[in-house]
Amino acid sequence: MPVNIRWVVLNFKTCDTQTLYQLLQLRVGVFVVEQNCPYQDLDGKDQTALHILGYDNERLVAYTRILPLGVGYKDYVAIGRVVVDPAYRKHGLGQKLMEKSIAECQIHYPQEPIKISAQAHLKEFYSRLGFCYKGEDYLEDDIPHCAMYLPG
């Protein structure tokens, strides 16, 4: 499936209700329903985040949020809620999404290190993007995760 993704970067104030609905629908559809993991997705951090949205025509198919230094982690910018629509997986979209997210971090938070809480089975994927594994695996919402870092 050849996909031509249109990337949009928004802050919460410029996010209209339709876009907010789409991104919440994608996050809940994957993180809560597909992964069978009931958790509080609305954590009060979206208001300070940059939202990276990937569209195929008008369909939201990829998303991350970037949290500024001190919001997700004291000494790091955070990339989180990394999600690709299940119908769009296996086409390299996750890598493109993360490359776009890292580039936006470098634009908006230059020289700041980045930290992610990665699902443990994705260590190799994030390592290929330059992230380094430090510490031990831990459970987050009953799913194995690990901390990974990208220098600023």
Burial degree of 49 (CB within 10 A; 0-12, 13-18, 19+): buried
Cβ-based neighbours of 53, under 8 Å, separated by 6 or more: 7, 8, 9, 10, 19, 22, 23, 60, 62, 63
Does residue 2 register a pLDDT over 80?
no
Does residue 102 register a pLDDT over 70?
yes
pTM for the predicted model, two decimal places: 0.94
Which overall architecture, per CATH, does domain 6-109 show? 3-Layer(aba) Sandwich (3.40)
More confident: 71 or 90: 71
The mean per-residue pLDDT over the stretch 80-89 comes to 96
Residue 85, SS3?
Answer: coil
Does residue 15 register a pLDDT over 60?
yes
